[in-house]
């Protein structure tokens, strides 16, 4: 198995108390070392997502007092706003080819649905239209399907839809009354999620072939799991002594550890891909 320790992670760090909080978007080595701030704001930063080549991050920023989605090149800091439509602009996720973002938009109606945003021409394609809340979409590794969170069944569960047939989403999770924040392993075999287990929010994985669910974390508020590019480890945000922390766990649950993170509450960690030669040279 290819090692993932020469890869990078990104996460949001929050310092201070309202109304004087400081938000930082941070990129670090996979063990949390060599942290580098690539964006800082007095307004919330949310939902970072890596492009498949490791060159770009998409994220949500409230720096204009309303939500907007940006893409930013990690090496140079070059960035551009790609969605600032009326209402909610949230939960960006890159397609494998880097040409499209899956985003959550509310529009003027206020109902959250999932759209595909073409980054070249800004065209939008709506892929869900249910009265319930549809959000947190991610692409399958082959780019043909989307996995997303929806409460259309009465509580949050994870669904899958074929992009070529968006009118027929299929429910994927059936264990427990709350499952959200789907992340698909790079090998396409497992789904990581935040699940409600014994009154606590924990990280779990589900085998996509047989539906078997395994609880991996033991905290009270563990969330935002993200796979290593070799599909063997997950990072996630947890809480310890009232502080947001960065932690990791193997997909078999056998090993876990707290990772280094500088001061601040850690939120929404995401593990980057294996670096291409160009991205690796730029990092060096």
Query: The tokens of 61 are what?
Result: 């920023």
How large is the average pLDDT for residues 113-134? 95
Residues of the chain above pLDDT 70, percent:
95
Mean pLDDT of the chain: 93
- CB-based contact 227:236 (threshold 8 Å): no
The answer to which of 73-87, 209-223, 233-247, 258-272 has the lowest mean pLDDT is: 258-272
For 283, the 3-state DSSP assignment is: helix
pLDDT tens column, 176-194: 999 999 999 999 999 999 9
Residue 52: alpha-carbon gap to chain centroid:
13
Whether the predicted pLDDT of 218 surpasses 70: yes
What is the predicted pLDDT for the residue at 168? 84
Q: Nearest Cα to 101, choosing from 75, 129, 125, 66?
A: 125
Q: What confidence score (pLDDT) does residue 4 get?
A: 74
Residue 277 has pLDDT above 70, yes or no: no
- 147-186 pLDDT, tens digit per residue, is 999 999 999 999 999 998 877 899 999 999 999 999 999 9
Average pLDDT, integer, range 19-36: 93
Per the CB < 8 A criterion, the answer to whether 162 and 168 are in contact is: yes
**Cα angle vertex 49, ends 252, 176, to 5°?**
45
Note the pLDDT of residue 19: 84
Select 8-283's CATH number: 3.20.20.210, 2.120.10.30, 2.40.160.20, 1.10.1240.10: 2.120.10.30
HSE of 98 in the Cβ direction (CA atoms, 13 Å)?
Answer: 12
pLDDT at 13 over 90: yes
pLDDT at 79 over 90: yes
pLDDT at 271 over 80: yes
The pLDDT assigned to 3 comes to 66
pTM here? 0.93
């Amino acid at each position: 198995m290819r090692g993932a320790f020469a890869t990078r992670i990104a996460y949001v760090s929050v310092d201070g108390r309202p109304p004087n909080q400081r938000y930082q978007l941070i990129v670090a080595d996979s063990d949390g070392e060599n942290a580098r701030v690539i964006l800082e704001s007095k307004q919330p930063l949310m939902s970072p997502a890596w492009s498949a080549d490791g060159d770009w991050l998409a994220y949500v920023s409230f720096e204009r007092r309303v939500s907007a989605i940006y893409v930013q090149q990690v090496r140079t800091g070059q960035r551009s706003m790609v969605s600032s439509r009326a209402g909610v602009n949230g939960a960006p996720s890159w397609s494998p080819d880097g040409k499209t973002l899956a985003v959550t938009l509310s529009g003027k109606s206020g109902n959250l649905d999932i759209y595909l945003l073409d980054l070249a021409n800004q065209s939008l394609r709506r892929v869900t239209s249910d009265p319930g809340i549809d959000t947190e979409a991610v692409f399958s590794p082959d780019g043909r399907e989307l996995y997303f969170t929806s409460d259309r069944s009465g509580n949050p569960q994870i669904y899958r839809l074929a992009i070529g047939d968006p009118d027929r989403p299929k429910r994927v999770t059936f264990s427990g009354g709350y499952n959200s924040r789907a992340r698909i392993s790079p090998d396409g075999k497992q789904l990581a999620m935040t699940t409600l287990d014994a009154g606590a929010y924990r990280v779990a994985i589900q085998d996509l072939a047989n539906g078997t669910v395994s609880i991996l974390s033991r905290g009270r508020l563990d969330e935002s799991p993200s796979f290593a590019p070799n599909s063997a480890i997950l990072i996630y945000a947890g809480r310890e002594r009232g502080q947001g922390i960065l932690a990791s766990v193997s997909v078999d649950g056998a090993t876990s550890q707290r990772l280094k993170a500088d001061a601040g509450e850690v939120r929404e960690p995401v593990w980057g891909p294996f670096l291409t030669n160009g991205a690796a040279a730029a990092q060096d």
